[in-house]
Amino acid sequence: MAYKVVIGIEIHCELKTKTKMFSSAPLSFAQTPNSCVNEVDLAHPGTLPCVNKNAIKYAIMACSAFNLEIDTLVKFDRKNYFYTDLPKGYQITQQFHPIGRNGFIDINVDGNSKRINIERLHMEEDTAKQFHFNDETLIDYNRAGTPLVEIVSDPDMTSGVEAVAYISKIQEILLYLGVSDVKMEQGSMRCDINISLMKQDAEKLGTKVEIKNLNSLSNVLKAVEFEISRQSDMLDNAELIVQETRRFDETTKSTVSMRKKEGNVDYKYFPEPNIFPIRLPLDWVNEIVNNLPELPDARRVRYHDVYALEEYDANVLVSNKLLADFYELVMQDCDDGKICANWIISELIAQLSKTNQSIATMKCDSKNFANLINMITKKEISGKQAKQIFAQVVDGENCIELVKSSGMKQISDEGAILQIVIDVLNDNPQSIEDFKNGKDRAIGFLVGQVMKRSKGQANPSMANQLVSAQIKNY
């Protein structure tokens, strides 16, 4: 039987501030365990939290980009539970007064746009990180207190593909805002998927199952598809689906039960007594909202309007911010946006992949790349010639010097090419006869001879035109 799939997603994203949410300890990744932590993070007696202003700024930026209503009265609450990764025995969060409510983003799946509503965005602090071994568990408190935003969607998605599109869009926007590095593989962005199935004509939602801490888009798709299949089989067999938390096992490509849930956990929330409510100045909030960096969708539109890029090319560039930023730099010195985009998307990406490099690590600067594209567009060299030196250009060698030293600068002087064409025609009477007898291949042969005599430097298009025009005079 076919069932209606209902999916909601909670995304936890670490903010890229210099210090933690409520302390002056620095943020870090892959640093020596317990080296970036202070008394506040460890909940020493007598210590008090101090709110990170930049974390609030970043949260406001995210709220604006996700079309959320921003609450200018910031309040925090305590979420009480005892667990070994929680130093204080409680987490400071925003249960009752999230900084953002009632927003949305639009996703695109198979050419169709769909609006996904966002219920809320709230700020909180991250927990410590545990490392489990056979007979012991070690705790690294470096992560404790890291600023987080939690983004909670409405249950508006109906497939794994839509879930991936939604998470990708959130990830892309946060990256362009510069508020997070959104690296799922490093844990700075984590996703919990809530999924339930119901009969097509049912009005009540089915039992919700949570898939916890998914760390890649690939795993999101696999986990959701497996869970839809698992729950469908259970419903077909009249089995009871229980409310539970599951994890995705990458080895078996399946979800595995972690713990059952009997109703909602009582975290005994209450207002955080050590942080008084903060009224944000409206001018400060408006300044943040009015000065957001260009967002991905706006950049796509600009690439189409300014550089005449097709939708595919714009999407490829924008979906990789480093690639798009490089394109921006190149276009400061480049004459043709479309040709530039083609070379970045086809040749540059392939060359970087071949040599295990990235935009961040390659030696070619934007000015050098722009010079290469300009030589192509001005027909000083052909595309074929550019490919011959492309690997060296990407490796940092000056393209202008390479063209000079190799003697490949293209001849575009009509008079010079015309003389070569006349000489070739005079030396190949049989080809002229073949052409008059309807053998069009003769033109190709003659153009090839022109290119050979010019050592590949004649403008191929001009050579073709001149051969076609001059052969009629014989």
Share of the chain above pLDDT 70, in %: 96
- 172 lies in some domain: yes
Q: Residues 385, 419: one domain?
A: no
Domain count, the chain: 3
Which of these three, 283, 309, 332, is where a domain ends? 283
Give mean pLDDT, residues 13-21: 96
The region, left, alpha or beta by phi > 0 then psi within -120 to 50, assigned to residue 238 is left
Query: Residue 416, class by beta-carbon neighbours within 10 Å (0-12 exposed, 13-18 middle, 19+ buried)?
Result: middle
Q: Residues 331, 464: one domain?
A: no
CA distance 441 to 435: 8
- 79 lies in some domain: yes
Q: Residues 208, 234: one domain?
A: yes
Cβ atoms of residues 224 and 160 within 8 Å: yes
356 Cα distance to chain centroid: 19
pLDDT at 410: 62
Q: How many CB atoms are located within 10 Å of the residue 213 CB?
A: 15
Cβ atoms of residues 216 and 184 within 8 Å: yes
* Band of residue 445 on the pLDDT scale cut at 50, 70, 90: confident
pLDDT at 263: 62
CA distance 203 to 57: 41
Query: Residue 343, class by beta-carbon neighbours within 10 Å (0-12 exposed, 13-18 middle, 19+ buried)?
Result: buried
Which of these three, 376, 406, 436, is where a domain ends? 406
The dihedral through the CA atoms of 450, 455, 456, 457 has a sign that is: negative
Degrees to nearest 5, angle at CA 172 with 166 and 173: 95
pLDDT tens for 234-271 read 999 989 999 999 999 999 999 999 888 766 678 999 99
- Bigger pLDDT: 200 vs 354: 354
Average pLDDT, the chain: 91
pLDDT at 449: 80
Residue 223 backbone phi and psi in degrees, to 5: -65, -45
CA distance 451 to 420: 9
- 184 lies in some domain: yes
| Structural domain that includes position 448 | 414-473
Q: Residues 160, 95: one domain?
A: yes
Bridging pattern class, strands 112-125 and 100-109: antiparallel
pLDDT at 331: 96
Report which residue type is found at 298.
Answer: A
pLDDT at 262: 62
pLDDT at 429: 76
Q: Residues 238, 378: one domain?
A: no
- 288 lies in some domain: no
Which of these three, 374, 406, 438, is where a domain ends? 406
CA distance 350 to 346: 6
Residue 406 tokens read as: 């190799």
- 289 lies in some domain: no
pLDDT tens for 201-245 read 888 888 999 999 999 999 999 999 999 999 999 999 989 999 999
Residue 176 tokens read as: 């362009």
pLDDT at 463: 75
* Band of residue 51 on the pLDDT scale cut at 50, 70, 90: very high
pLDDT at 141: 94
Q: Residues 308, 209: one domain?
A: no
CB within 8 Å of 358: residues ≥ 6 apart:
322, 352
pLDDT at 404: 81
CA distance 12 to 192: 8
Residue 459 tokens read as: 């403008």
* Band of residue 7 on the pLDDT scale cut at 50, 70, 90: very high
Q: Residues 465, 364: one domain?
A: no
pLDDT at 411: 64
Q: Residues 201, 339: one domain?
A: no
- 424 lies in some domain: yes
- 291 lies in some domain: no
For residue 458, is pLDDT > 80?
A: no
pLDDT at 326: 97
Report which residue type is found at 421.
Answer: V
CA distance 376 to 304: 22
127 Cα distance to chain centroid: 26
For residue 111, is pLDDT > 70?
A: yes
84 Cα distance to chain centroid: 34
Secondary structure (3-state) at 458? strand
Tally of residues, the chain: 474
pLDDT at 274: 96
CB within 8 Å of 349: residues ≥ 6 apart:
323
pLDDT tens for 146-172 read 999 999 999 999 999 999 999 999 999
For residue 292, is pLDDT > 70?
A: yes
Residue 435's CATH number: 1.10.10.410
Q: Residues 457, 340: one domain?
A: no
Q: What is the DSSP string of 323-343?
A: HHHHHHHHTTT-S-HHHHHHI
Q: Residues 12, 131: one domain?
A: yes
Give mean pLDDT, residues 355-373: 94
Q: Residues 265, 313: one domain?
A: no
CB within 8 Å of 296: residues ≥ 6 apart:
172, 173, 176, 318, 319
H helix count then E strand count, the chain: 16, 16
Which residue, among 51, 41, 49, has the nearest Cα to 17 in the 3D structure?
A: 51
Give mean pLDDT, residues 45-68: 97
CA distance 460 to 444: 11
Residue 33 tokens read as: 């365990």
For residue 469, is pLDDT > 80?
A: no
Please list, residue by residue across 149-174, b when 16 or more beta carbons sit within 10 angstroms of its beta carbon and e when fewer do: bbbbbbbbbeebbbbbbbbebbbbbb
CB within 8 Å of 311: residues ≥ 6 apart:
300, 304
CA distance 422 to 450: 9
* Paired strand residues for 91: 79
Strands (DSSP E) contained in 61-136 are 69-70, 73-74, 77-80, 90-93, 100-109, 112-125, 129-132
- 120 lies in some domain: yes
Q: What is the DSSP string of 1-51?
A: --EEEEEEEEEEEE---SB-SSSSPBP-SSPSTTSS--TTTTT-TT-----
Q: Residues 131, 94: one domain?
A: yes
* Band of residue 315 on the pLDDT scale cut at 50, 70, 90: very high
pLDDT tens for 371-419 read 999 999 988 888 888 998 999 999 999 998 988 887 776 666 667 777 7
* Paired strand residues for 188: none
Residue 109 backbone phi and psi in degrees, to 5: -130, 120
Secondary structure (3-state) at 76? coil
For residue 431, is pLDDT > 90?
A: no
